[in-house]
Structure 1
């Protein structure tokens, strides 16, 4: 049985805007799922619908086999942590964490015991008497997390819960969060706008665009084989170009390049497709070479960023198309002339 089972979920707002369109999704017990997509893609709408803050226009939502489509949020046994810490400044840390148990009329000795355990779990043992104003941003977010898990939720929902924190604090809390959810056996749904974060912490990633699910995949599969050219552009900074396909070759007229079908990655149901296709060129498929290299495309360096073990380049061809590439060695110069070679582009039906 799936922890969360969503079938044909649609949300249409009062002004007629479609927030979600026939979303189907199953989340396994104890799975850590990330929702990602551009602004307005529907990821927060989906999370708030799972939480019960939004009512779907159609479709169904089951939590551990129970239909909760019309069940109010407080009866869904879910914990939720928002981007802003949402701790009450007039209450002590312990009172903040104890609030859900107090609302549930749990006896005081039991509340105090569980508050101590929850604070220890998030690394705040001994902080119960302090006020939130005396805590750092990361510590306040830990308080919010302790409050979310103290009532033994079936599902933990995270809405940009780490995005307001600075690095390296964000990285540290990200690691602790993954460990905590594993130890507690929590099913977790995490909304983030940070692609690297989603890929690094999730068991699977859901890519949403315009209220529709574009792909659900494990991180390695998502980056290696994006389902559409648009997903490739969003997830992996792929350049997307128009091309043509015939029985033998794939051609990109804008660059004057062509490849045999054995030299490209055909993705999706190509069927008997001939004619116009979309090409997605991942950064790993772009090799930067000296200017004037035979068979390569002339280009110039448009931008350079240091990325640890390599330099991340944006290169622009004479046709105005831009590609990402990784280069090791000396730092390239902006406006430096180069050539690029493209290998194994991804090919999608247009």
Structure 2
């Protein structure tokens, strides 16, 4: 890596004072991490995240998401490539990177027997805030997290969703420019996950920061302005959720039949379609479902196959992942 200027170069010394607006909050070129023994966890990642974006880094477990975030936060040293975060080079200006980012990893670092206010004030002091500033900032982030009425509650008494909001509040104490959240909804039930995403969108506006979220939940990427999909250490797709789906130019017909295996084979033979037997249903990518659905059903009916259910869907991020990797998205299918 080098320390030469990048599109994110900034002359500010850190914090949230006066500074020149940056086009990119994150900018990488060929970012690579190779572990002893030759295992490549991250393989030449090129990535840009605009200032103020809500950005999703999407991929299966073990695909390289956490390793990439650790390098971007200057917590792990890249093996090769260049990276700048909030205007600072992750290798030559690591102290500035750490000052300008907030980080939340999967496992909470909160002390369960402290109160919410005590936990935040302690962390603020570790960041170098004075006692008065630590108290003031603690009150601000508790209010932003909608936990002000719980300031005297012990951390262990909070629900899972409330604890994650407190974790995020802790990461915001020093007013970072970029907030990195590694699997922030892991372990939460669907309603709590939805509420946390509402909280993140509100924080992005209120705190005027860039939010960089890693996740293996495909549906969560829909909440973001843009996303990148990483698989086996490489970026396989990037863009807006709508743009990536529309680029496929196809819809999907889903059929539940009396004989899915035979149905898939017939559709491949008679219509030359790429039909997949997924066990419970047959999926067929098409360009126009309104045209193809009656034709496919007629073919199966002519061969004595009963159709119990037929639906058509627009492309999903599952389809995007399959298109770029040749396999369905499986959160557990990443590299070790």
> Does residue 171 in structure 1 map to residue 226 in structure 2?
no
Of 268, 271, 288, the residue aligned with 1:257 is 271
Counterpart position of 2:165: 142
Alignment deviations for residues 179-234 of structure 1 (CA, whole Å, 9 cap, x no partner): 111221111110111101112x110010111111111110101122249xxxx9xx
CA–CA separation in structure 1 for the residues paired with 2:70 and 2:306? 43
Counterpart position of 1:213: 235
TM-score (norm 1): 0.68
Q: In 1, are the aligned partners of 2:300 and 2:306 still within 8 Å (CA)?
A: no
Q: Single out whichever of 67-76 and 28-37 deviates more from structure 2.
A: 67-76
Alpha-carbon distance, 1:297 to partner: 9.0
Q: Single out whichever of 96-105 and 15-24 deviates more from structure 2.
A: 96-105
Structure that is richer in strand per residue:
1
CA–CA separation in structure 2 for the residues paired with 1:237 and 1:115? 52
CA–CA separation in structure 1 for the residues paired with 2:253 and 2:171? 35
Alignment deviations for residues 252-283 of structure 1 (CA, whole Å, 9 cap, x no partner): 99433259xxxxxxxxxxxxxxxxxxxx8269
Of 92, 113, 117, the residue aligned with 2:115 is 92
SS of residue paired to 2:30: strand
RMSD: 3.8
Of 199, 211, 214, the residue aligned with 1:191 is 214
Question: How many residues of Structure 1 are paired with residues of Structure 2 in the alignment?
Answer: 275
Sort the Cα spacing of 1:292 and 1:125 in 2 relative to 1 into closer, same or farther, 3 A.
closer
Sort the Cα spacing of 1:183 and 1:299 in 2 relative to 1 into closer, same or farther, 3 A.
farther
> Does residue 8 in structure 1 map to residue 30 in structure 2?
yes
Of 274, 281, 288, the residue aligned with 2:285 is 281
Q: In 2, are the aligned partners of 1:42 and 1:208 still within 8 Å (CA)?
A: yes
Sort the Cα spacing of 1:221 and 1:296 in 2 relative to 1 into closer, same or farther, 3 A.
farther
Alignment deviations for residues 15-72 of structure 1 (CA, whole Å, 9 cap, x no partner): 2111111111111111111011223321222112212222110011112332122525
CA–CA separation in structure 1 for the residues paired with 2:61 and 2:218? 13
TM-score (norm 2): 0.71
Counterpart position of 2:4: none
Alpha-carbon distance, 1:120 to partner: 0.4
Greater relative contact order (Cα 8 A, min sep 6): structure 1 or 2?
2
Structure that is richer in helix per residue:
2
Sort the Cα spacing of 1:220 and 1:54 in 2 relative to 1 into closer, same or farther, 3 A.
same
CA–CA separation in structure 1 for the residues paired with 2:129 and 2:215? 34
CA–CA separation in structure 2 for the residues paired with 1:290 and 1:4? 48
Counterpart position of 1:152: 175
Sort the Cα spacing of 1:134 and 1:295 in 2 relative to 1 into closer, same or farther, 3 A.
closer
> Does residue 114 in structure 1 map to residue 128 in structure 2?
no
CA–CA separation in structure 1 for the residues paired with 2:234 and 2:304? 36
Q: In 2, are the aligned partners of 1:156 and 1:188 still within 8 Å (CA)?
A: yes
Counterpart position of 2:225: 203
Q: In 2, are the aligned partners of 1:291 and 1:298 still within 8 Å (CA)?
A: no
Alpha-carbon distance, 1:300 to partner: 6.2
